[in-house]
A = this chain, B = another copy of it.
Amino acid sequence: MKAADPATIETPVGYVELDRARANATRVAAYARSHGLRWRPHVKTHKSLEVARIQLEAGAQGLTVATLREAEVMASLCDDVMLAYPPVGWTKLERLLSLPESVDIKVALDGVEVLTSLASAAVERGRTVGVLVELDVGLGRVGVQTADDVVRLAELAAGTEGVAFRGVLFYPGHIRMPRGEQTGHMRAVATRLHAALGALTAAGLHPEIVSGGSTPTLWNSHLVEGLTEIRSGSCIYFDREALHVGVADWADVAYTVLASVVSTAVPGRAVVDAGSKALAKESRGGDGFGILLDHPEVLVRSLSEEHGVLDLGATEWRPKIGERVRIVPNHVCASVNLQDGLLARDGDVHRLITLEARGRGPWIA
């Protein structure tokens, strides 16, 4: 077990505290339950069957995925899977429709072309795929723009063989300000959603699922009336963004990148072996790419591919070559995606977590 010890394992490597992850899952599930919401966590954060199992055991009801690889892997664990991503292209449709018959597949989409190609492919396979109409509530990334557009696409889904209208989905990804300042923004989302839901009712359509939620808005999800489920995913581990927003405390952070100090040659700095290929170069307005868990006064000021440059300007701490540090990345999902696997602490034992849903393959037929 020498190599699976955080003191000697090769760095850089993603490091998970499973007890914290379990506590996070329990807390989110309890919040959802207390507000009559279901929790359908997005697995893009962890890409791991073991961690998905933790979420389901804590009370998650269903899983959210973005890629077909994630869908295929998670279908082995859970029969309620939502692809919160438009499946465009024949291989993606083929893979989607090859998921086990036992899986209740739901797909979020925002356009007629995606809906009709999905429906045709489903008819060919003798399946029916659930459709959620995605509504843009302010991010301006994907999603139909008006309540009328929601109704139009929902009516098309309801009237087209191979698909079934199941509900509405939105992602409030534009709401990233501190938790206490979110109320007005959440009310604006609620207003927009209310209009769409009202128009659907007027058209005689009844969304069984109204799916929303992000990790920054997690604890304010109940402010959006009509919601039936939240999809928050990165709440399993949290990250520096979550700390900034105030949706998590330091003691909740369950994922760090374990790194070793490899150079102290430049005064005022120390270099670790976690660079952009371990932490991900996710900028947060010029204030660095990560922060040390055990020295929160120390930022990862800049990143090269294999170098993370620690700014020692605000600390008395002077690390030695070979010293190990734990870095909280700005964006946990992007960092996990760069790992071959994770080292996990489970009580007193250290072991590995595999990332079965990482990558995209088999991408060549």
Q: How many copies does the complex hold?
A: 2
Q: Would you give the 0/1 interface string for A125-155, flagging 1 where the beta carbon is closer than 8 Å to chain B?
A: 0000000001010001111110001000000
Q: Would you give the 0/1 interface string for A323-363, flagging 1 where the beta carbon is closer than 8 Å to chain B?
A: 00000000001100110110000000000100000011101
- The answer on a CB contact under 8 Å between B276 and A66 is no
Q: Would you give the 0/1 interface string for A90-102, flagging 1 where the beta carbon is closer than 8 Å to chain B?
A: 1110000000000
A106 at the B interface (CB under 8 A) = no
A229 at the B interface (CB under 8 A) = no
Contacts known (A266-B140, A280-B281, A365-B3); A88 close to B273, Cβ less than 8 A: yes
Looking at A72-80, A108-116, A179-187, A217-225, the stretch in contact with chain B turns out to be A108-116
Which listed residue, B8, B12, B91, B307, touches A142 by the CB 8 Å rule?
B307
User: A187 CA to B68 CA in the complex, in Å?
Assistant: 52
Which residues on the B side are within 8 Å of A68 (C-beta)? Answer: 10
Which listed residue, B320, B322, B337, B363, touches A277 by the CB 8 Å rule?
B337
- The answer on a CB contact under 8 Å between A88 and B262 is yes
User: A265 CA to B143 CA in the complex, in Å?
Assistant: 6
A105 at the B interface (CB under 8 A) = no
Smallest CB separation, A78 vs chain B (Å)? 20
A161 at the B interface (CB under 8 A) = no
Complex: chain B residue closest to A306, CB-CB: B66
Q: Would you give the 0/1 interface string for A183-214, flagging 1 where the beta carbon is closer than 8 Å to chain B?
A: 00000000000000000000000000000000
Contacts known (A334-B305, A363-B10); A264 close to B3, Cβ less than 8 A: no
User: A283 CA to B285 CA in the complex, in Å?
Assistant: 11
Which residues on the B side are within 8 Å of A117 (C-beta)? Answer: 322
A271 at the B interface (CB under 8 A) = yes
Q: Would you give the 0/1 interface string for A1-33, flagging 1 where the beta carbon is closer than 8 Å to chain B?
A: 011100011111100000000000000000000
User: A13 CA to B4 CA in the complex, in Å?
Assistant: 33
User: A117 CA to B276 CA in the complex, in Å?
Assistant: 26
- The answer on a CB contact under 8 Å between A266 and B143 is yes
**List of 7 A-B pairs having minimum Cβ-Cβ separation, nearest first:** A3-B365, A10-B91, A113-B321, A110-B265, A142-B263, A10-B363, A88-B262
Residues of A within 8 A of B (CB): 2-4, 8-13, 44, 66-68, 85-86, 88-92, 110-111, 113-114, 117, 134, 136, 140-145, 149, 173, 260-267, 269, 271, 273, 276-277, 280-283, 302, 304-307, 309, 320-322, 333-334, 337-338, 340-341, 352, 359-361, 363-365
Can you report 15 residue pairs joining A to B where beta carbons are below 8 Å apart?
A9-B364, A10-B360, A10-B363, A11-B89, A88-B261, A88-B273, A141-B271, A141-B304, A141-B307, A141-B309, A142-B271, A144-B265, A283-B283, A305-B333, A340-B361
Given A8-B91, A9-B91, A283-B283, 12 additional A-B pairs, CB 8 A: A3-B364, A10-B363, A88-B262, A88-B321, A88-B322, A89-B260, A111-B264, A142-B265, A145-B267, A173-B304, A281-B283, A305-B333
